[in-house]
Amino acid sequence: MTDTPTSGTLTIVNDLGLHARAAAKLVGLANKFDADVYLEREGREVNAKSILGVLMLACGKGSEIGLRTEGPEAAEAYAAIAKLIEEGFGEL
Amino acid sequence: MTTEDREGRDVAEVRPRHRLEGIAASPGIGIGPAYIVDRGRVQVPRYSIERGDVREEIGRFREALRATQEQLEAIKSRLPHGEHRQILKAQQMMLRDPDLTGDVEARIREDLINAEWAMMTVARDVERMLSEAADEVFRERSSDVAHLSNRVLLNLLGKTDDEIDPPAGSVVVAFDLSPADTAALARADVTGLVTEVGGRTSHSAIMARSLEIPAVVGVEDVTEYVRTNDMVVVDGTHGHVVIRPTRDEIEHWQEVRRRYDAFEDEVQRDHALPATTLDGVHVVLRANAALDEEIASASFHGADGIGLYRTEYVFMGRDAPPTEEEHYRRAKAILRRMAPHPVTFRTFDLGADKVAAYVRGRGAGENPALGVRSLRLALRERHLFVAQLKGLLRAALHGPLRIMLPFVSGLEELEAALEVLDEAKSELAREGMAHATDVPVGIMVEVPAAALAADRLAPEVDFFSIGTNDLIQYTLAIDRENDDVGYLYEPLHPAILRQLRMVAEAGARANVPVSLCGEMAADPRYTWVIVGLGIHELSMHPSAIPVVKNIVRQSTLAEMEALAAEALAARSGAEAERRVLEVMQARFPEHLEHGGVDGLPRPGGPVPVRARSGDDGAGEAGQSSETGGYGAM
């Protein structure tokens, strides 16, 4: 095993935050991995493979969110999703 | 943005963000309070189920999800890329969301409750949570969930079309209207129509023209600007929409409306006179119709009968197909109202964007416009076709009825349809039902293959009617519902003009009358070209007849033929368009101004940039960045 992270805290940087399109992108990406993916904000954790769950976090620009992955492809899932969030869902 | 109207008057006092532009779809000025088409909540039944029925209930729920998924896919496929497509995509994702579907199934299983109630309660919870978000962007998503759950509920309840009911005098504002919705407009006395999607030949636009409702389509984001009961001005002649106009603006538009009405009165005055050219050639002008209201309008506007009666609307928005008896009674009533003029009934043209619940989805394929539609569907759903033909053959005893077969692409298809017609006749004979045996049968020439092979088909038919809407769509390979390719819509493209001439010549040689019943026929710009090509019969929405008749009565066949020859000689559609416009503009400026042609995409012009004109930009920048971006998924 490597020491690739499978959990950490990230900041939402794009202007609209985790709105529908960005959420759809994130959920679509999460579903590609054989891993459980969770997002957490202000003590509330949701399944990142559920678009409604992600939308309910209502993460605006500047929100700090926790990302946690588990399972066979946890590391890959973490890396890919962290990259998507850090790059502002391609909206920057 | 331009701040001058056609006469160069300055209209800069218009508050910019309240003025939107779209495609002029139906001429005239409408001023009235907005009626937003927003499908409200459905009545949701609540009942308990037995433990043994849980499986079946969950199966029913999954079937509704599947149907909803398909409907969203169908809607999405008709949309250009952009915000609404993204919303649909997100909605499709919600349908697969374990948080939603898992919860509904759990409620069915644990609470022993029906699927409708489970769906509604779960959706309400989700909506409530979303609507509590601090950020507006997320609060708005709760309405997505509401729309979605509504759609699932309608599928669970087996309802396909929910009707709209706008008050008299209102301006209907909608994202899109289904053909069933537009049919409902006929029953309401609305003063204008504005939609976000659709082009000039979309069904919303066609129906608006038929019903003489001023309409502007393809107005981006209009549903976001308008609230119920906001005053709205619709300039369906030039494609302007003004939301919440000032008192001065309302006065200005009332004056514009008065001038438009005055022109209408003038052309209407001669409506009962024959459409004969100055050199004595008679041009037959008939009406296109689908609804009872249009029959009255056809007579009022001086039509020489109905050149295209669309029968498919009888099939839509109901659970069972119409019976032979119903076809018979309807056709008989229409013939009586139009007597002594002929009525041409086009057999049902279902499929593509016009669907009926009991034939939905059969053989439509990935690309319904090229799938089992129209005559192809009729030959497959033979019982529906036979019932219609029998009804028409019986009705033909009551007046000059003609039968027109749509979407014929070749000889064998035509022969197969004629065989069904023979079958209908023998069935009637066996049953001892009185019917006409000498009904003229013609075909729509709307598939390029039929136009190019018109000489082969001519000996087998009694008349040709060229459907230019589909002929242009299929020849130029442009989806008529997709406003992003509207700029390619070139009625005078050499490929189109040559086909029109071929059909006219094939008809003349075989002594088969040729008419033209597409939207082109109603456009005063093209009257000379069409008649000049040798097509001396035009069928159009009734309200256009007086304008076209007025043009014919002031023209000679010789000058029309000269212009048609010039158009045929042009190197491109744009070149032909420029020349034709130049001539017609000089000769009939008023007809062109009020005839509703200004909003047409300019053939050969630059690819239009979809910008909201007049947008002050504040607070909207984020929205406009919402394009593309799904490729990563």
Q: What is the DSSP string of B157-183?
A: TT---PPP-PPTTPEEEES---HHHHH
Q: Is the CB of residue B144 less than 8 Å away from at least one CB of chain A?
A: yes
Q: Which ranges constitute the DSSP H helices of B371-481?
A: 374-380, 382-395, 411-431, 448-452, 454-457, 468-476
Q: What is the DSSP string of B553-577?
A: HT--HHHHHHHHHHHHHSSSHHHHH
Counting beta carbons within 10 angstroms of the beta carbon of residue B422, is it exposed (0 to 12), middle (13 to 18) or buried (19 or more)? exposed
Domains, chain A, in order of start with CATH, read: 7-90 (3.30.1340.10)
**Cα–Cα dist A18/A64, whole Å:** 11
CB < 8 Å to A47, chain B: 98-99
pLDDT at B549: 95
CATH of the domain at B69: 1.10.274.10
**Cα–Cα dist B242/B16, whole Å:** 9
**Cα–Cα dist B32/B234, whole Å:** 9
The backbone torsions φ and ψ at residue B492, rounded to the nearest 5 degrees and listed phi first, read -100, 15
pLDDT at B107: 94
Q: Residue B633 and residue A53: Cβ atoms within 8 Å? A: no
pLDDT at B357: 60
Q: How far A8 CA lies from chain B's nearest CA (Å)?
A: 23
Q: Is the CB of residue A13 less than 8 Å away from at least one CB of chain B?
A: no
B615 by DSSP, 3-state: which?
A: coil
Query: B340 preceded by cis ω (within 30°)?
Result: yes
Mean pLDDT per block of 10 residues along chain B (633 residues) reads 40 54 89 80 81 93 90 69 65 85 93 93 87 68 76 81 77 77 73 83 73 88 83 92 92 90 82 92 94 78 93 78 94 94 95 65 70 90 95 97 97 97 97 95 98 97 96 91 80 98 98 95 95 97 89 96 98 96 93 59 35 34 29 28
**Cα–Cα dist A15/A26, whole Å:** 16
Active-site residues of B, by number, are: 203, 517
Judgement on whether residues B152 and B225 belong to the same structural domain of the protein: no
Judgement on whether residues B186 and B297 belong to the same structural domain of the protein: no
A15: nearest CA in chain B? Answer: B622
- For residue A58, give the amino acid letter: A
ipTM of this model?
Answer: 0.79
Contact in structure between B304 and B584 (CB atoms under 8 Å): no
Structural domain of residue B204, as residue ranges?
A: 16-39+164-264
Judgement on whether residues B492 and B560 belong to the same structural domain of the protein: yes
CATH of the domain at B515: 3.20.20.60
Q: Is the CB of residue A21 less than 8 Å away from at least one CB of chain B?
A: yes
Contact in structure between B100 and B94 (CB atoms under 8 Å): yes
pLDDT at B90: 80
B137: nearest CA in chain A? Answer: A19
Q: Is the CB of residue B126 less than 8 Å away from at least one CB of chain A?
A: yes
Which of A:32-71 have CB within 8 Å of B?
47, 49-53, 55-56, 58, 60
Active-site hit among A5, A13, A14, A19: A19
CB < 8 Å to B129, chain A: 56
Look up tokens 């499908």; give the residue.
B39
Q: How far A87 CA lies from chain B's nearest CA (Å)?
A: 13
Query: Which pLDDT band holds residue A89 (cuts at 50, 70, 90)?
Result: confident
Judgement on whether residues B309 and B412 belong to the same structural domain of the protein: yes
The domain tally of chain B equals 3
Q: Is the CB of residue B89 less than 8 Å away from at least one CB of chain A?
A: yes
pLDDT at B85: 66
Q: Angle at the Cα of B220 (from B214 to B224), degrees rounded to 5?
A: 95
Domain boundary residue, one of B560, B579, B594: B594
A84: nearest CA in chain B? Answer: B632
